[in-house]
Copies of this chain bind each other. A is one copy, B any other.
Amino acid sequence: VRRVSGGGTADGTRPLRADAARNREALLEAARDVFAVHGSGVGAAQLVRDSGMSKAALFRHFRTKQELFLEVLAEDARTLGDRLALAADLPDPAEAFRAFMVQGAEHMVENRGLLEATSGQMFDAPRVRAMLATVADACDRVLERAQRAGVAREDLVGLDLLLLFKAPAGTVMYLEDAAPQVWRRYLDLLLDGLRPEGARPLGTPAPSPAGLPGLGATTHDDEFWHRNEET
């Protein structure tokens, strides 16, 4: 009943027994869908239902519900990274820039999990920061191309793009089913603001990546899940 330092994920831990690996995958599989639709708040019972496993099994594979959530999130971030890379490499710089932003925003809209993860406390998890660090590089690249081509204003930095992915997503929630596509309208609006024409100087300086303590995947593990309790 001693807990080994490594934890149990992708460290140096031995590979899982075949059936266990399959079970773990079944749990993840179920979790993906359920989290995407219901967000991180769903009950453990719901998470397990479609996997055919018991709640106890879930907690054998993942130390906590949050950890399962993060695991799903990490996969999800990889998907986002792929989509973004594809968009960023389109031949026309303006087209690439636009597609990049569309992909980023769309991903946030479709993925309640990622949206939650970047809202508030959860963002402190080193794994989440590490995810975003990867994406940050891609941001720098598309933006630079766009700026050189004169289709993006000069006072932007790569990190801005990352932060802006979330902006249109917030607007959907008001209307959800009524108008699930409104976010595109507001992304268009925002994109008009990102072009050089009619740009007015920004009153607030760009955030520096240095401001994000964890960017670069520094910290070790997740001692981050304490809320501020007590007096």
- Residues of A participating in the B interface, judged by any CB pair closer than 8 Å: 38-39, 46, 49, 112, 118-120, 123, 160, 162-164, 166-171, 173-176, 178-179, 181-182, 184-186, 188-195, 197-200, 202-207, 211-213, 227-229, 231
Contact = CB atoms under 8 A, between A and B. Distances in A.
B192 A204 contact: no
Nearest to A50: B231
Contacts of A173: 118-120, 123
**Most-contacted residue by chain B among A174, A191, A231 (CB, 10 A):** A174
Number of this chain's copies in the assembly equals 2
Contact of A167 (B38, B167, B175): B167
B167 A182 contact: no
A179 B39 CA distance: 27
A185 B167 contact: no
A211 B174 CA distance: 10
The 9 closest A-B pairs by CB, nearest first: A193-B193, A197-B198, A185-B204, A192-B193, A198-B198, A178-B211, A167-B167, A166-B170, A163-B171
B189 A202 contact: yes
Given A46-B229, A163-B175, A192-B192, 11 more contacts: A38-B228, A39-B120, A163-B186, A167-B168, A185-B203, A185-B205, A185-B206, A185-B207, A188-B200, A189-B202, A191-B193
Contacts of A227: 38
Contacts of A205: 185
A212 B178 contact: yes
10 contacts: A118-B173, A166-B171, A167-B168, A167-B171, A175-B211, A179-B207, A184-B204, A185-B204, A189-B190, A195-B198
Given A184-B204, A192-B200, A175 B212 contact: yes
Contacts of A213: 178
A167 B186 contact: yes
A124 to B, nearest CB: 9
Contacts of A197: 197-198
